[in-house]
Amino acid sequence: MQTDDYVKAGKIASEVRELARKTDWVGKTLYEICESVESEIKSRGGKCAFPVNTSLNELAAHYTAEPNDPKVLTSDDLIKIDLGVQINGFIADTAVTVSYNPEFEILVTTAEEALKNAISMVREGTKSSDIGKMIEKTVKQYNCKPIANLSGHSLEQYTIHAGKSIPNMWSLGAFPLSTKEAYACEPFVTTSKGLGFVREGKTRNIFGLVSRKKIKNEAANKIVDYIWDNFNMLPFALRWITKEWDEKEARSALDELIKNKVVRAYPILVEANGQRVAQAEHTFIPTETGALVTTL
């Protein structure tokens, strides 16, 4: 395991996350926010492991800005800024929630506290289900609800979701944490009025390569080569493609690639009762005595 690369990626991710936390984004478009955060990652020598997620209010995850996205952040909004940095494919995944409405500050506090308590119990051999139990207990102490069908995950080179889940509630099917793996822990929290589940929305603006098989559309095949050369199997945004291709052409090619199962499109995830959601996230590597938190 390339611990050095995980640590380098984590240092960049941490700096950029804290900058995002302190910035007043009110009046900025989601496009400006995504481009700004991604540019900070690159200026520090990192590459984006996935498009910056700017999920507002009841959107829990998987929204990134469209090209020139006009949606403007207001003083009533709560925004989850989820960012990833990769060095040689080794990933740091971290997130912060910024609330401009004091009414929802409790969600931000709860997500951060649940993450802190979960990380405090990490060491080699800790069971994933015990982490979920701790997150659930903390969240309920604040009279909030954890999102049951969202979870943290193991990480591998060029793979964000590497097959193992770190739950946000107590669950069956536990596994022991290993010092040979990196993990992301990410409590998602909603209000007591929330259902505590997310559903898929119609919008899909984050994509990932599934295979490199050729199709009959030559323009689409060229885009696949570009995706592979620049993003490997990691997620990407249409915004990233339109820096090289006309937007209409890129959209058409992506539609063809999705239809032919060369590319997948990730749907946005929305709190099922339309309640606001907060998220906090760190990446860590277990040790014999605790956690090496790369994104601290």
- By annotation, the residues acting in catalysis are 82, 93, 153, 161, 186, 281
Count how many Cα atoms sit within 13 Å of the Cα of residue 119 in the half-sphere of its side chain.
Answer: 24
Concatenated DSSP letters of 115-134 = HHHHHHT--TT-BHHHHHHH
What is the rounded distance in angstroms from the CA atom of residue 39 to the CA atom of residue 48? 9
Give the CA distances from residue 86 to residues 4, 9, 12, 74, in Å, rounded to whole numbers and listed in that order. 12, 6, 9, 31
Give the CA distances from residue 286 to residues 108, 182, 282, in Å, rounded to whole numbers and listed in that order. 25, 7, 12
Concatenated DSSP letters of 222-261 = HHHHHHHHHHTTS-EEHHHHTTTS-HHHHHHHHHHHHHTT
